[in-house]
Amino acid sequence: GEPTVMIRIKELPKEVIIKIAAGEVVAGPNSVVKELLENSLDAGADEITIEIVDGGKAIIRVEDNGCGMTAEEMKLSIMPHTTSKISTIEDLYSLQSFGFRGEALASISRVSKMKMISKTQEEEIGTQLEIFGGEIVDEKKVNAKTGTIIEVEDLFYNIPARRKFLKSESVEGRYVTEIIEKFALSNSVNLVYLRDKREIYHFTKDLDLVTKCLKIYPELKSKDLIEIFYEDTSIIISGIISNPKVARSNRTAQTFFVNKRYIKAASLFSILEKGYGEMLEKGKHPYSVIFIDLPPDTIDVNIHPQKLEVKFKEEQKIVMLLKNVIRESLLKKTKFTIEFVST
Ligand code: ADP
Ligand code: MG
């Protein structure tokens, strides 16, 4: 008879595809917090409360006073590739929002037990949805303030292999705290953060960058901070760097924002330290909170699923500028710095 041909290539089951895709966006509790905060800010919120329990592994809850969603919009928001923020690919190059992929709520809702409550200004009464593993299991009308509450319970409950990869609650909780610090540094909002019912941070809208830095890094004094600023027609570089004397032994306090978006790029870290050059002791890493602002059509943000990287059109120029701005600010700043160099 006919020899049977083994076909080794098969289409993956839908649920497997969905879980793989969700894994790209949702690395752990900190990436859930990042996505929810971005959504709150995109919704125009200026009051945000974040609560986590057990490092975010048990509960992550973000409440905002943004524009809210109608019941219909809420249901759409958890579908893959649904967004109110862009409609054409060109929109990516004039982007004003943090979001654009329309993937976060779809992904998060598929790998957790999620509750959403939302109400728009125009509505009298809000809507509550309960979603288990991406399926809506309950919908009801509830009293609510204008804005949105999203509660994410038992992240990765339906992907046990993945859940096992989560670190201890203290480590995951620290990652969450770190991402909240980044948002607090780059946004002027009233932001309250509770970890296991304990208030960790309360930033008010009016705080300046130095004050926020001192809150986040209590080991620093204001005399340790050096402001940097550079501006030409195509770029603004601004922020704060530390005196080389008060460096850390790791890079956890080096923060960059490109058009207010938190960016974690090795190239920026290394340029920062090149700017310090010989002023920095070996193995020491300075503090930085640096904002790079460019016309949106000179960067590409669509190169990383968690949007943590960007591509610069003129990478070389930016890198050189940044290094020079840092170097000059350090040299200009203090006798103190120069004394340090010579000792
Ligand atoms: P994206 O942010 O890329 O659009 P998301 O999955 O994060 O994708 O959100 C989908 C949509 O749900 C958003 O475009 C927005 O319209 C709506 N949305 C999400 N979170 C909020 C919120 N906190 N307040 C108001 N609308 C929201
Ligand atoms: Mg989003």
Mean pLDDT of 159-173: 94
Prediction ipTM score: 0.99
Question: What is the percent of the chain with per-residue pLDDT over 70, rounded to a whole number?
Answer: 97
Higher pLDDT, 305 or 50: 50
Mean pLDDT of 217-235: 95
Query: pLDDT digit string (tens) for 285-316?
Result: 999 999 999 999 999 988 887 778 889 999 99
Pocket test for ligand 1, best of 92, 105, 114 (most atoms within 8 A of CB): 105
Q: Which of 87-91, 231-235, 314-318, 333-337 has the lowest mean pLDDT?
A: 333-337
Is the CB of residue 6 less than 8 Å from the CB of residue 150? no
**From atom 2 of ligand 1, which residue's Cα is the shortest distance away?**
99
pLDDT of 341 strictly over 70: no
| Whether residue 40 has its Cβ less than 6 Å from ligand 1 | yes
Indicate the pLDDT class of residue 338, thresholds 50, 70 and 90. very low
pLDDT for position 334: 55
| Whether residue 36 has its Cβ less than 6 Å from ligand 1 | no
pLDDT of 96 strictly over 90: no
Q: Which of 87-101, 115-129, 195-209, 229-243 has the lowest mean pLDDT?
A: 87-101
Q: Give residues with Cβ within 8 angstroms of 286, minimum separation 6.
A: 241, 242, 244, 246, 247, 248, 253, 254, 272, 273, 276, 280
User: Which atom of ligand 1 has the smallest separation from the CA of 100?
Assistant: 3
Query: pLDDT digit string (tens) for 264-281?
Result: 888 888 899 999 999 999
Find the 103 Cα to ligand 2 centroid distance in Å: 7
Mean pLDDT of 77-104: 89
- Assessment of whether the complete model's pTM goes beyond 0.90: yes
Q: Pairing relation of β-strands 47-53 and 126-132?
A: unpaired
Pocket test for ligand 1, best of 41, 42, 103 (most atoms within 8 A of CB): 42
pLDDT for position 124: 97
pLDDT for position 342: 41
Return the HEC string of 109-138.
HHCCEEEEEEECCCCCCEEEEEEECCEEEE
The token duo for 51 is: 């609560």
Which phi and psi angles does 118 have, rounded to 5°? Answer: -150, 155
Indicate the pLDDT class of residue 216, thresholds 50, 70 and 90. very high
| Whether residue 275 has its Cβ less than 6 Å from ligand 1 | no
pLDDT of 343 strictly over 70: no
Indicate the pLDDT class of residue 211, thresholds 50, 70 and 90. very high
Q: Return the amino acid letter for 334.
A: T
* Domains and their CATH numbers in the chain: 14-203 (3.30.565.10), 220-342 (3.30.230.10)
Cα–Cα distance for residue pair 89/125, rounded to 1 Å: 36
**From atom 14 of ligand 1, which residue's Cα is the shortest distance away?**
83
